[in-house]
Every structure is written in C-alpha cells, then in structure tokens.
Amino acid sequence: MADWPAGGTGEMFKLVHQLPEQLRAAAQLEGLASLQAPDGAFDRVLLCGMGGSAIAGDLVQPLVQHQPVALDVHRDYDLPHWVDSRTLILAASYSGNTEESLSALAEARRRGCPVIGITSGGQLAAAAAGEGGEPFPRVSLPGGLPPRASLGYGLGALVHVLGRLGLVEEAAEQVAEAADVLAGLNAARLAPFGSPPQGEATPEDPAGMASAAAVAADLQGRVPVLYTVGLPARGVGVRFKGQLNENSKIPACLAVFPELNHNDLVGWELAETDRGRFVLLVIGEPQANERLEARIEVTRNLLAVDLPVVHRLLPTGRGTLARVLSLVQFGDYVSCHLAALKGVDAVPVTRIQQLKDHLARL
C-alpha cells in the first residue's frame, strides 16, 4: 500500500483507489435485479442530479450516443418545458436530499413521467417508497461516503440501468472491463506521495504521459486550464474540474475543442507578468478528424508563450467506458496529490456546507 498522507487526504486517496471495487459491486446493488422497463414507450431519458450524482450521466453519454433514445443531464430546479409523460426521469441524488433534484422529481411526478431513483436514502428514497405519490423503482447505493467518492456505485448503477432499458449494449461487460483496467492502473498511479515530481512515465500510462504526481507538481501554485477533445472527454473535463475544486481547493478553467477556438483562445493574451501562472491540460485521445487534430496542434503553438507547461492526457483500455474512466481516475489522483502538496484536507467541502446552512435559514 502506498505511503499516503495522514488525515482526510489520505482517506480520499483510498477512495479513489476503490473506484474499480465500487464498479464491480454495482452489479449487486439492491433494486437492480428486479428493475424492469417502465410501462409504455419513452422517447428520451433525462437524468436529474447535481455534482457527483450528475457527472455519471455526462460520463455515460458516449455509450448511448448512437441510440435512438437520447440521454440528457439536467442540473437545475423544475424541468425543461419539453419533458412529458414519454420522458423517463432518472432521479439521481447520492444523499437523497439534494433540493434541486427533489424539485425536478416533484415536477416529474406532476407531469406523469416514469421515474427510476438512484440514491442511498433520504427524501428521494422515501418518495420511491410511495411518500407523496405513487412508488417507483429505486436502485440503492451504499451510504456514508462523500458524494464525489461514490462515483463507482452511481455510475455503475446507471450503466446497468441503461443496459436493462436496452440503451447500453453489453453493459455488464463494459463495467467489468473498466474495473479491470482501473485496477491495473492503480499500481502505477498509487505511487507514494513524495515520489520524484518529474518521475518517468510508467508502462501503464500511454504515450509517455506524466504520472499523476508529476502533473500535480506542475499544478502547484498555478491554475489548471482544461481543454477537452471529443465527446468521451467532455464529461471527464467536468469531473476533473470538480475534483480540483473540491479535493484540491483551487479554481480551474474548462473549455471544449473546437468551440474554444472561437472564443477562449483570445483570452490568453496575457501580460508578461502573468505568463506561466497557468498549466494547460489537453484531455482526450487523438481524433480521426484531421482538421480537429490540426486545431489542437496550432492552438498549443499559439499559446506556448502564455501557457508554457502543457500535458496531453490520454486514455487507456479498449472499450469506451474503460477509456473514459481511466482519465477520470487519473484526474482524481491528480487532485489528491495536489491537495497533499498544498497541505489541505481533500475531504471537507466547507463552502458548500455554508451555502446549504444559509439556504436552510431562508
């Protein structure tokens, strides 16, 4: 076992390490075996959630992009105007008490939408049991974790649910492969904290990609700029930014190729004194579209003066889910290494709790 820092940051390292175990355990979650498709047809699926619960929807979207039924993610109160009784609602809240998700759920029930809940308990579990209306199916997640550290359970549950609905092919096999790939990567990415910050890339990391510890060392005292390439990397970028925010307690910038070439690119005409204060992380595998790859290369050259430190983060594995989650796990480790370098506790999210306390008094 790696020599982790003491305290909450060490605990978060261990939780990141458990991601493949959570994925494997997701197949046995209560409620999955008895889950059936809702009565009647549905035209699209809307996952309603926030934070660590919503990100599972973003990460799974590449698995359903070629299906006739779209999967969208809703991060807000109420519901979009187009949602009706032919929209399947996946109400996802790890705690079961996320107020935005509960608001969307209440509106979904008012509109007669079929609902499936994914939660560890709380008001969402009570609603699934029939409180306030008709009961609906629920997949039960183990409780007691920081929501962002329960991703393996929540995402695994979502993939299995979508598999039962016929929207993800070979769902169990994809989850199993992803778990195997992440377990194989753990040995490399769990190098003890304090290892050489510019250590050589390991055989498990593709294309000479720097270790998570080395990337974290480059980020210390700087602001990360995340540029994602391709649909599978978009959810990874959202997750990576959130982990840097919550675990490392730092801000981060996020933009998407090729859209960023039409706006974000111009924002990096920095004063000389500000150059070098940011690190560019280009996330995603090389693309078949040659014009897009050309844009990435030209963009890196144009920003070389303002963003001299650059890492290209590439996935590992065969299947789409494994490749997506290999990048997620890498980003999770980077955020923990950076927390340790800064000497901050990765677990507490004090500002979020302060916000909730203030809202509770309104």
Give 212-218 contacts, CB < 8 A, sequence gap 24+.
212/330, 212/333, 212/334, 212/337, 213/333, 213/337, 215/281, 215/311, 215/313, 215/334, 215/337, 216/334, 216/335, 216/337, 216/338, 216/340, 216/341, 217/337, 217/341, 218/279, 218/309, 218/311
CA distance 221 to 342: 9
Query: Which positions are annotated as active-site residues?
Result: 246, 262, 356
* Token pair for 280: 């560019």
148, 128 in Cβ contact below 8 A?
no
